[in-house]
Amino acid sequence: MDPARLVRRSDTAWEIAPRGAMRVPAVIYASEALIRAMDDKVAEQAVNVAALPGIVGASYAMPDAHWGYGFPIGGVAAFDAARGGVVSAGGVGFDISCGVRCLHTGVTRGEVVAVQRRLADALFERIPAGMGRTGEIRLSAHDMDAMLAGGARWAVARGWGGAADLERIEERGAIAHAQPHRVSEQARRRQRDEMGTLGSGNHYLEVQEVVEVHDPGIADAYGLAQGAIVVMIHCGSRGLGHQIGTEFLRRMAIAAPSFGIHLPDRELACAPIASELGADYLGAMRAAINCALANRQILTHLVREVFADVLPQARLPLLYDVSHNTCKVERHVVDGRVRDLHVHRKGATRAFGPGHPDLPADLRAAGQPVLIGGSMGTGSYVLAGTLSSEAQAFSSACHGAGRAMSRQQALKRWSGRRVVDDLAARGILVRSPSQRGVAEEAPGAYKDVEAVVDAAEAAGLARKVARTAPLVCIKG
């Protein structure tokens, strides 16, 4: 992207002023180097989002932004229902509530390295990963309804985890006002055998070492220290969320003219929040959020079982679980007044600052943990939400490194076998059912996660706490 197309407001804030159908500005947070590397579609899509009814403040794009369906991935936008605001299935995405959770282990690098191959093999055997993979759980119609309403709370009640886990999950494990009856039979069929599975694409489970601490005070509050071993799980609502996204995008696109909504891009299909269709989508989308939370909770239980066998001295309490690809009702200050807004975050992470009442009491002073997934060969980050991010982008931050090239481009450049061998030579063991999938997710296919995180911190979106590096990666 040519920076000359944008107005530079600071070292890391770039703006497109309202023009044409735009109701608000579009703002991209990134360094100049990241802006130059971004595809032009990011600006085009951010501009289109800025034209949607009822949008508040600005249409935002995070430092990891790249082209997506309708909204850019890394896009954030808030809408006011009282002012004709809309909800957009494209602004949430297909993998509803895809997110990351981080677990402590209490073991050292030496202890992991001593059993590294055995641990990698055991995790790969126990965690179903890959396209269409099913698990050992089969949900009846009654179980499906209970899971869609109860999320991680349902999973804990079934024995997959403990009550302490729920305190460290957004919405304390289950979002309110989910409506399982809004979820189609096809979506239910796709999910019936997929609970406790990792999925494919950029989903992963990694055993990581904390290799750098940037903020010792917050790291201590999070229970992180250099040399500590953690586990990160990245996955979402699997086939159910994808089906909900597909169905409602079609319904919204057909219905848009009847609401008097002109779509600059059909992929921005939306419906008024106050409409029956908008309410239907929100009910189904919240059920999918609960599905993702339940799925990650079951995966956590499976990981704990593997560690109990391979490293029985380990203990795996939850640090935090945070979703991206959601639309949530939140209270934000706009023009000096508190307003209830429907905040869309697509490939973006909630980042509440210190003191926020929705945070667990023992984390409140430090701010919300923000979990940033990297690529197989680089590393991930734990950040902390800041007070300034409220005004910057409705308390939002980036969610990962962000793709630098398409999956097809990656396949032309790398082979899965070569990627696995190169990483093994660096002490990183990868296990995946698909060599093609590994090639598509090659580390070089992603942006520099350090540059993304540095830009997020410079923009005031979040604060760097710790960097982790992978030792074992289970890839879907």
Instruction: Mark whether 181 is an active-site residue.
Output: no
* Chain mean position to CA 455: 18
Structure-token pair, residue 33:
């180097």
Beta strand segments in 152-238, E: 204-213, 229-235
CB 324 within 8 A of CB 346: yes
Which tokens go with 209? 């070492």
Query: Would you state the structure tokens that stand for residue 399, as one six-digit string?
Result: 């969610």
d(CA 222, CA 466): 10
On whether the CB atoms of residues 347 and 74 are closer than 8 A, the answer is: yes
d(CA 50, CA 55): 7
Residue 114 phi, psi dihedral angles, 5° rounding:
-60, -25
Tokens of 116: 């590294």
> Active site residue: 66, 104, 234, 399, which one?
399
3-class SS of residue 130: coil
Q: Report the C-alpha gap between 151 and 325 in whole angstroms.
A: 16
Cα(297)–Cα(134) distance, rounded to whole angstroms?
A: 16
Residues 6 or more apart whose CB falls under 8 angstroms from that of 312 comprise: none
CA distance 17 to 267: 23
The two beta strands, 318-323 and 99-104, are antiparallel
Strand-pair category, 229-235 with 396-398:
unpaired
DSSP string, 174-240: --TT--GGGS-HHHHHHHTTTTT---STT-EEEEEEEEEES-HHHHHHHT--TT-EEEEEEE--HHH
Name every residue whose Cβ is closer than 8 Å to that of residue 165 and which is 6 or more positions away in sequence: 152, 156, 173, 297, 300, 317, 318
- State the catalytic residues: 399
